Amino acid sequence: MDANDVVEQAARESYGRLLAFLSARSRDIAAAEDALADAFGAALADWPRSGVPANPEAWLLTAARRKLVDAARRRQVRDKSMPALLLAAEEAEVLVMEPSGLADERLKLLFTCAHPAVDAAIRTPLMLQAVLGLDAARIASAFCISPAAMARRLTRAKARLQEAGIPFEPPEADELAPRLDAVLDAIYAAYGSGWDYVAGSDPNLRGLAGEAVYLGRLIVTLLPQEPEARGLLALMLHCEARRAARRDAHGAYVPLAEQDCALWSASLAREAEDQLTEASHPGRLGRFQLEAAIQSVHARRAVTGETDWEGVALLYEGLVRLAPTIGALVGRAAAIGEARGAEAGLALLWELPKTAVASYQPYWALKGHLFAKVGSIAETADAYGRAIGLCDDPAMRAFLIARTEEVLSSRSRTRLH
């Protein structure tokens, strides 16, 4: 392996840990990022010449803290973080002498990124950048935000954390639950917007599913006793297990009910089940465990050959009590529509507030599906039309157009009779 490969590998494996270590001491994510970028640059210049050091991580850390200390000195201000920085420098020296590895402080970083002082919409991008080193442009594309705006918001969020003097510490026990919810929400937002199963949009197309699962595994490793962390991981793994079945050989969208379960990944599903079982032991039910349990019922079709829609509906009843998001409400209507008939599903859709669903694509897709089942052709075409117009996924759009044409042609066939 040449020096460039080692730098790349170090970037992948150590970036978040190095940044966590540095920013926990400097309390300044932006400065730590700059220093780390310089250190990686120095490694690219130095290692091919003088050889890869025995402990690349310690080398990078030493180089980065030197940059941090230099930068702080240059600012020539009575910087409160100076003592902590110098301490970090000493710690880094010790690490170089004794390359036993770096304490994993990414948990502090995760909690800081999802701190209440940070605007909820920027928590996920901040996490992706700080823990995984993703650049603003890539994050911007995944979230359909202007790259310049994304870079500005990230900079502002880091400045806000620094100015507010947010400590890089995990929360105290009494506020762990709400703070952990914020961390898990942010990780889930990286995975997709939660309506995967109703609408079937492929989170992988959004480009960050792998990163989200990585963060999910990380939080389970760091907080193994938290059932909701395991619930979230189980949920994402169940969805990942179906990735190959979501599109056919021509790239066309395949809805969950029509997926070939032979294409589902048995190993990912098993891992998801293990996480869910482990999560259930403390007896603290939560939103993510319920969502994972819903996916678990769907996964059972690979064994039983059918979907227990009553079971899905029951779990959704629990979910909407715990977290009545628009996604959960539409999901419940879908499950009831399958379990107790399309009219029952439609009745639930009518109850939803008009403004909340006006531009919510999965609502219209489900409405079209249920109208088609009861044979209301004009209403089906209307609802599917709205779903097509609101769709940002070409494969799903093509699927909905084809369904609409099927329904309309069945009408003309009926007329001929």
Q: What residues make contact with other proteins under the rule CB under 8 A?
A: 144-146, 149, 358-359, 385-392, 394, 397, 401, 404-405
**What is the nearest approach in angstroms of other proteins to the Cβ of residue 134?**
19
Q: Hey, which bits of 289-359 come out as E strands?
A: none
> Which are the contacts of 338, defined by CB distance < 8 A and separation ≥ 6?
307, 309, 312, 313, 345
- Using an 8 Å Cβ cutoff, are 215 and 131 in contact? yes
> Which are the contacts of 412, defined by CB distance < 8 A and separation ≥ 6?
none
- Using an 8 Å Cβ cutoff, are 179 and 111 in contact? yes
User: How many Å is the maximal CA-CA distance in the chain?
Assistant: 88
**What is the nearest approach in angstroms of other proteins to the Cβ of residue 146?**
6
Tell me whether residue 92 or residue 157 sits nearer to other proteins (CB atom). 157
**What is the nearest approach in angstroms of other proteins to the Cβ of residue 207?**
13
**What is the nearest approach in angstroms of other proteins to the Cβ of residue 143?**
9
CA distance 156 to 166: 14
**What is the nearest approach in angstroms of other proteins to the Cβ of residue 401?**
5
Residue 253 — φ and ψ, nearest 5°? -70, 135
**What is the nearest approach in angstroms of other proteins to the Cβ of residue 409?**
13
Tell me whether residue 100 or residue 359 sits nearer to other proteins (CB atom). 359
**Crossing angle of helices 106-113 and 176-191, rounded to 10°:** 80
Element (H, E) at 91: helix 82-97
CA distance 197 to 365: 12
Among 361, 396, 364, 384, residue whose Cα is nearest residue 247 = 396
**What is the nearest approach in angstroms of other proteins to the Cβ of residue 379?**
15
Tell me whether residue 176 or residue 408 sits nearer to other proteins (CB atom). 408
**What is the nearest approach in angstroms of other proteins to the Cβ of residue 388?**
4
Q: How far is CA 341 from the centre of its chain?
A: 33
Residue with tokens 């823990």: 131
Residue 118's CB is within 10 A of a number of other CB atoms, namely 22
Tell me whether residue 65 or residue 403 sits nearer to other proteins (CB atom). 403
Tell me whether residue 53 or residue 207 sits nearer to other proteins (CB atom). 207
Residue with tokens 């494996």: 13
CA distance 233 to 220: 8
Tell me whether residue 51 or residue 251 sits nearer to other proteins (CB atom). 251
- Token couple for 5: 């490969």
Tell me whether residue 189 or residue 299 sits nearer to other proteins (CB atom). 189
Tell me whether residue 147 or residue 318 sits nearer to other proteins (CB atom). 147
**What is the nearest approach in angstroms of other proteins to the Cβ of residue 198?**
18
Tell me whether residue 277 or residue 359 sits nearer to other proteins (CB atom). 359
- Using an 8 Å Cβ cutoff, are 18 and 64 in contact? yes
